[in-house]
Amino acid sequence: MLLRRAVAVELEVTEELNKLLYSVEFAYLSIVREVVMYAVVNNVTSATQLHELFYTKYRREYSSLNSQLVQQAIRQAVQIAKSFIERRRKGLVHKPYPEVRSVSIRFTESAWNYEEFVESIAPVRIAISPISTGKRGRGGRRFEVWLKLHKRFWLYWWRVLNGEARLASTLVIKRKANKWYAIFVFEIKPREEEPKSIVAFDINENTVAVGKIDLLSTMGKVADWNRQYLTPQLYMIRTDFGRLAKRYEAIRNTIIERLKPGFALPNGKYVNITNTREFRKRVKRLSEGDRKLGRVRYVANELTRTPAIIITEELGDNPQESMINGIEKDELRHRIKQTPFKKLESAVEDKALERGSRVFKVSSYRNSRVCPIHFTRLEKTDDWHILKCPFEHLVHRDYASVTNMLWKITPEAWTKGIWWNMKKNMNWREYEGKSNPLVPHSIVQYIHAILKSFTASLEQSPAVLARGKPMTPAGGANEGWARKPPQHGEEASLVFQFIPLA
Ligand SMILES: [Zn+2]
């Protein structure tokens, strides 16, 4: 399996090339639009068929365009039409045909100096051939362009030189505002590394709860049986997805209120403001998506910092839907819907592959309903986050959840965690010796030993698992999940909260 990473590098285009690229883009976009329209209206998605229908026509119409680009434009149209038809079939789109607003111009191996480029140790420019020489069989006219290279490019280029990655042969040229970018695609070989820690994480509305056991520092120290090294670290990474959604919701509402007067109908009602151009224009500037994506990346980065065995819940196809079931309040439903569970999960999986971590999913069954010390069913308290064990101690819901996930990897509680049925008497013998076959047995034994000694120590002072409580502000904090509010704008909200363990 290959990982792909796209790196955009700005081009230093001359005025001449700038003009040329605009006209090439225009031709390319026209082809894509027309072919997409035809394909969707006539329900034709065969690449061969569409090529036969259109290639000669466009070669004549745009005779100066490199024939490679004509081919690529038709191909791109096929892909757009296919995905549109597929989405329409699923009922996800209601427009009669897709609007193609912009295109990425694809240069295949022969339309740019790929061979030359990959041979170079430190490439600083590319040569592209967007237009043909006009004479048959002579190929395209070459334009050399300098690249405004940056650190990210060099990091991947270093990997190419090391043989850890290769550069894909197709180059994409794309315009954003008035700047032109070359988009290089690097194919990276996933790393294989010895795991250095075991990390369980659980995604919540405003935090990601983490339970971490370091293997590096502990493996050799098992003999000393030093408790300091044998306790999993439990902490939260703040994401504030819920709060972010709440804030942007408020901003959107303000925009609607401000726009309303301009869209009043004679009967006193209003046009649906969210459908208007003015609304979309204003909302577009809000960059909610960018912020969210930034936080998703941050969390993925944190969790995969060292090669690890990463354990998380099986989320199912639509985690939001199952979570909002039974929640009446519209606002809370909206916030949960805005929590990017799947995005975060796939970002972690992706980064994990790149950095040599492995992700394992365990069932979500009763992860936050069972005491990780006594395996009894937890009861609610008046604080949504804090649960009470029948053995008279409190447990923070999120810590229970990540600790139970760790348990699920071990033979003992793997069976308990998954099959444990309050009413049914389980025959534990049946499950003896079974564990998740994907995690090396020595590590399973190790997690088991650590959890055993950890929970044994908690039997004396189980308050450790409920440390969240003193930090929860008094009153009405049930949905807030609040610790401290972010202090210095957005960035400050991503502060780690290490919960010191006794
Ligand atoms: Zn308990």
CA of 320 from ligand 1 middle (Å) equals: 29
Q: Are 494 and 296 in contact (CB under 8 A)?
A: no
Q: How far apart are CA 412 and CA 431, in angstroms?
A: 8
Q: How many CA atoms lie within 13 A of 270 on its CB side?
A: 13
Q: Are 399 and 233 in contact (CB under 8 A)?
A: no
Residue with more model confidence, 260 or 412:
260
Q: What is the pLDDT of residue 266?
A: 78
Task: Note the pTM of the prediction, 2 decimals.
Answer: 0.64
Q: How far apart are CA 215 and CA 358, in angstroms?
A: 14
The answer on pLDDT for 428 being more than 70 is no
CA of 400 from ligand 1 middle (Å) equals: 10
- The lowest-confidence range among 46-55, 75-84, 243-252, 302-311 is 243-252
CA of 372 from ligand 1 middle (Å) equals: 7
- The lowest-confidence range among 55-64, 187-196, 375-384, 470-479 is 470-479
CA of 454 from ligand 1 middle (Å) equals: 13
CA of 434 from ligand 1 middle (Å) equals: 25
CA of 374 from ligand 1 middle (Å) equals: 4
CA of 98 from ligand 1 middle (Å) equals: 56
Q: What is the pLDDT of residue 484?
A: 34
CA of 381 from ligand 1 middle (Å) equals: 14
Hey, how many other C-beta atoms are within 10 angstroms of the C-beta on 85? 18
Q: How far is CA 441 from CA 192, 223, 429, in A?
A: 18, 18, 19
Q: Residue holding tokens 């071990």?
A: 410
Residue with more model confidence, 468 or 21:
21
Residue with more model confidence, 12 or 444:
12
Q: What is the pLDDT of residue 58?
A: 94
Q: What is the pLDDT of residue 477?
A: 37
CA of 393 from ligand 1 middle (Å) equals: 6
With bands split at pLDDT 50, 70 and 90, how would you rate the model's confidence at 418?
very low
Q: How far apart are CA 502 and CA 494, in angstroms?
A: 25
CA of 441 from ligand 1 middle (Å) equals: 27
CA of 301 from ligand 1 middle (Å) equals: 33
CA of 390 from ligand 1 middle (Å) equals: 7
CA of 447 from ligand 1 middle (Å) equals: 19
What are 261-309's pLDDT values in tens digits? Answer: 877 777 777 777 777 888 888 887 777 778 888 889 999 999 998 888 8
CA of 378 from ligand 1 middle (Å) equals: 8
CA of 175 from ligand 1 middle (Å) equals: 59
Residue with more model confidence, 383 or 182:
182
Q: How far apart are CA 398 and CA 342, in angstroms?
A: 18
- The residue-averaged pLDDT of 44-65 equals 92
CA of 367 from ligand 1 middle (Å) equals: 14
Q: How far apart are CA 499 and CA 234, in angstroms?
A: 6
Q: Residue holding tokens 């998605």?
A: 45
Q: What is the pLDDT of residue 157?
A: 93
Cβ neighbourhood burial of 113 (10 Å; 0-12, 13-18, 19+): buried
Mean pLDDT of the chain: 79
- The residue-averaged pLDDT of 198-202 equals 91
CA of 424 from ligand 1 middle (Å) equals: 20
CA of 395 from ligand 1 middle (Å) equals: 8
The answer on pLDDT for 421 being more than 60 is no
Residue with more model confidence, 7 or 214:
7
- The lowest-confidence range among 12-21, 134-143, 336-345 is 134-143
- The residue-averaged pLDDT of 462-482 equals 45
Q: How far is CA 310 from CA 26, 199, 352, 382, in A?
A: 47, 5, 8, 32
Residue with more model confidence, 240 or 332:
240
